[in-house]
Amino acid sequence: MGRTSRSGCGWWWLAIVVRCQAVRWIVAALLGTVWVATAQAEPLGDLDLPIDCEPGMSCWMLRYVDHDPGPGVRDYRCGGRSGDGHKGTDFAIRDLAVMAAGVEVRAAAAGVVLAIRDGVPDVGMDQLDPATLAKAQCGNGIRLDHGEGWETWYCHLRRGSLAVQEGDQVAAGQPLGLVGFSGETSFPHLHFDVRHDGQPVDPFVGPEPAAVCEPGARPLWRDDVAARLDYPPILLTNAGIAPAAPEKDDIRWGWHHQDVLSVGSPALVLWVEGYWFEPGDKVNFRLTDPEKTAVVERSFDVEQTRQRWFWYAGAPRPDEWWPSGLYDGEVMLERGSGEDSQRMVIKRSVELR
Residue 205 has pLDDT above 50, yes or no: yes
pLDDT value, residue 92: 96
Q: Which range, of 6-15, 214-223, 237-246, averages the lowest pLDDT?
A: 6-15
Domains (ranges, CATH) in the chain?
11-226 (2.70.70.10), 235-352 (2.60.40)
Residue 261 has pLDDT above 70, yes or no: yes
Across the range 216-226, mean pLDDT stands at 93
* Among 239, 243, 166, CA closest to 12: 166
pTM for the whole thing? 0.84
Residue 19 has pLDDT above 80, yes or no: no
Task: Tell me the pLDDT tens digit for each residue of 270-284.
Answer: 999 999 999 999 999
pLDDT value, residue 9: 44
Across the range 120-143, mean pLDDT stands at 87
Across the range 77-86, mean pLDDT stands at 91
pLDDT value, residue 129: 79
Across the range 135-164, mean pLDDT stands at 96
Higher per-residue pLDDT: 13 or 241: 241
pLDDT value, residue 150: 97
Task: Tell me the pLDDT tens digit for each residue of 293-303.
Answer: 999 999 999 99
pLDDT value, residue 22: 40
Residue 34 has pLDDT above 70, yes or no: no
pLDDT value, residue 99: 97
At 169, the pLDDT band (50, 70, 90 cuts) reads: very high
Longest dimension (CA), the chain: 89
pLDDT value, residue 209: 79
Residue 64 has pLDDT above 90, yes or no: yes
At 189, the pLDDT band (50, 70, 90 cuts) reads: very high
The count of other CB atoms within 10 Å of the CB of residue 148 is 14
pLDDT value, residue 29: 35
Residue 208 has pLDDT above 70, yes or no: yes
Three-state secondary structure of the chain: CCCCCCCCCCHHHHHHHHHHHHHHHHHHHHHCCCCCHHHHCCCCCCECCCECCCECCCEEEEECCCCCCCCCCCCCCCCCCCCCCCCCEEEEECCHHHHHHCCEEECCCCEEEEEEECCCCCCCHHHCCHHHHHHCCCCEEEEEEEECCEEEEEEEECCCCCCCCCCCEECCCCEEEEEECCCCCCCCEEEEEEEECCEECCCCCCCCCCCCCCCCCCCCECHHHHCCCCCCCCEEEEEEEECCCCCHHHHHHCCCCCCEECCCCCEEEEEEEEEEECCCCEEEEEEECCCCCEEEEEEEECCCCEEEEEEEEEEECCCCCCCCEEEEEEEEEEECCHHHCEEEEEEEEEEEC
User: What is the DSSP pairing of strand 59-63 with strand 89-93?
Assistant: antiparallel
Residue 46 has pLDDT above 60, yes or no: yes
Whole-number Å distance between alpha carbons of 329 and 289? 9
Most confident among 126-140, 144-158, 199-213, 222-236 (mean pLDDT): 144-158
pLDDT value, residue 41: 52
Average pLDDT value for the chain? 87
Residue 117 has pLDDT above 70, yes or no: yes
